[in-house]
A and B are shown apart, each in its own frame.
Chain A
Amino acid sequence: MSELAWIDAALSGARPQVMGALTRYFRDLDLAEEAFQEACIRALATWPRNGPPRDPAAWLIFVGRNVAIDQVRRRAKQTALPEEDQISDLGDAEAEIADRLDGAHYRDDLLRLLFICCHPDLPATQQIALALRIVSGLSVRQIARAFLVGESAMEQRITRAKAKVAAAAVPFEAPGAVERAERLAAVAAMLYLVFNEGYSAPAVGAEARGALAEEGIRLARLLLRLFPAEPEIMGLLALMLLQHARRPARFDAAGEVVLLEEQDRGLWNRAMIAEGLALVDKAMRHRRPGPYQIQAAIAALHARAPTAAATDWTEIDLLYGTLERIQPSPVVTLNRAVAVAKRKGAEAALAMIEPLGERLAGYFYFFGLKGALLSELGRAGEAREAFGRAIALANSPAEAAHIRMQLDRLMADRVAGPG
């Protein structure tokens, strides 16, 4: 790694906390961003010469704050410009002072910054775009590529989103316990959106989007470092890691979807699984279950099974049952039906999902599962109809291709089968 790459990693790593602190000082996202940019330019100029500071985040906050104050003054034309060297030749001693001032605020700063991005008036895609721009520091071009839109369109979207959150005026005082918990929950949901945007991306032609899964993991890990005793944040990070560990096995060479059952488990990322399992274990000790922990526990059961046949479907069925109680949703019931199909057969699973037909009328996976269950029961005509609906609702060519494959298999069985 070149020196520049190392400095770049240090700057990216410090960005969320520095932006959080600068946003608290200036109460203005644009000014905070400007200050951060300026501090980075000075870091690039002085770090190679003076060596990196002991605490890059504190250095950047200190310098960024001075630079921005200076800019505000310059705009107001009240005072003369200070000497450039006064700022750029900062020693670590001064950064230590800044650090002592700010250390206590770090976690609420970052939480606030993330919370600003998940304003409820913003549609999910805008929340994600804003977080990627403000917190992660991805360029507009990178974000535009991830969402397959033009750069100027994305620029406009982010500008509009910023205006909206500025008008919303999130309070800057340290939040109380209840408010902090609410912010954490909203931020967790937003980070899972970021992750899923990447996780659900197809294998081919969407590398820019795929990287968002890793960004979601990075931000969740950062959040957990600041809130180390929050079992739901442990669950969130574990869920992301356990799902992302399967990514190398989720698509075949042609970019087609490979179902969990058929994946080559040797391709799963063992380090990610180890970290995910460790987090699930830690979270369980708190005995405060929540939706992310339960989903992570389900993912952990898949990760622990050496083969698809060895999967503990009874435990998975129970866990989905718990999830249904604390967070009822037809999608959860649909997922539970998969476990029920394994335990009790297709008939029982079909009976479970049939009442969901109305609410999931536009849901690809509903018709995919329904078709699979019907074909297992030998009801080929109805299965074909369900598969047809699924293809019409597919979110990607890979999904549609996967259903077509099942449809082909169904037809072949009918020709070759006992009739």
Chain B
Amino acid sequence: MLYAILCYHSEDAVGCWTKEEDDAVMARIAAVIEKPAREGRLGPVARLLPTTAATTLRSDGRDAPLVLDGPFAETKEQLLGFYLVDCETLDEAIALAKEISAANPGGAHEVRPVGYFMESEGRR
């Protein structure tokens, strides 16, 4: 089963990390995901730009969607990145999410099974 591990975190808090702290977190995450990546079970992995760079299309189902500035939801924690990983069981996915969470403390990691996934073909 393919799982998405969605990383939610307070942008305000992450924005206060020093460059050294940020680098340290990224290095620790890299160490954690090295194994599933080597086994060909991981990816794509993405770190998203701040929600201030986001645009949201809101549709009422009838008219053309409204194009709005900002993220979809006004929340205390924002979706800041995600990992896709192929795991045998939910327990296995949770175990990886736990390791990632330890590498990137604070916030929340949501484990969500993937229903449909399109492999990228020749995206440059």
Contact = CB atoms under 8 A, between A and B. Distances in A.
- Please tell me the size bucket of the interface on A: 20 to 34
13 contacts: A1-B24, A5-B21, A6-B105, A6-B106, A13-B16, A57-B76, A222-B12, A228-B52, A229-B70, A234-B52, A275-B50, A282-B53, A285-B67
B53 A278 contact: yes
A317 B117 CA distance: 46
B56 to A, nearest CB: 9
A282 B106 contact: no
A55 B76 contact: yes
The residue among B13, B24, B68 with the most chain A CB atoms within 10 A of its own CB is: B13
B64 interface: no
Given A234-B69, A282-B69, 5 more contacts: A1-B17, A1-B25, A9-B16, A13-B13, A221-B11
A131 to B, nearest CB: 16
Contacts of B89: none
Contacts of B17: 1, 9
A13 B52 contact: no
A275 B49 CA distance: 7
Interface of A: 1, 3, 5-6, 8-10, 12-14, 17, 52, 54-57, 218, 221-222, 224-225, 228-229, 234, 237, 271, 274-275, 278-279, 282, 285
Contacts of A229: 68-70
Interface residues of B, number: 24
A9 B51 CA distance: 19
The residue among B11, B49, B53, B68 with the most chain A CB atoms within 10 A of its own CB is: B53
Given A278-B49, A285-B67, A12 B76 contact: no
Interface of B: 10-17, 21, 24-25, 49-53, 55, 67-70, 76, 105-106
B11 A225 contact: yes
A12 B13 CA distance: 7
Contact of B69 (A6, A228, A237, A271): A228
A52 B106 contact: yes
B21 A9 contact: yes
A234 B50 CA distance: 12
Contact of B52 (A3, A55, A279, A285): A279
A235 B109 CA distance: 32
B105 A3 contact: yes
B111 to A, nearest CB: 19
A275 B68 contact: no
Contacts of A10: 10, 13, 16, 106
Contact of A224 (B10, B13, B52, B67): B52
Contacts of A234: 52, 69
Contacts of B12: 13-14, 17, 57, 222
A218 B68 contact: no
Given A55-B76, A224-B52, A225-B51, A218 B21 contact: no
Contacts of B76: 54-55, 57
A10 B16 CA distance: 8
A12 B16 contact: yes
A225 B52 contact: yes
A10 B68 CA distance: 28
Contacts of A56: 10, 13
A259 to B, nearest CB: 26
Contact of B15 (A8, A52, A218, A285): A218
A274 B50 CA distance: 11
Contacts of A237: 52
Contact of B53 (A1, A8, A54, A279): A279
A393 B69 CA distance: 44
B21 A1 contact: yes
A221 B67 CA distance: 20
Contacts of A274: 49
A59 to B, nearest CB: 11
A12 B21 CA distance: 14
A54 B106 CA distance: 10
Given A54-B76, A275-B50, A218 B25 contact: no
Nearest to A221: B52
Of all A-B residue pairs in the complex, the 8 with the closest CB atoms, nearest first, are A13-B12, A228-B70, A13-B13, A12-B16, A9-B16, A278-B53, A228-B69, A229-B69
A195 to B, nearest CB: 15
Contacts of A221: 11, 15, 50, 52
B13 A271 contact: no
Contacts of A3: 105
Contact of B13 (A9, A275, A282, A285): A9
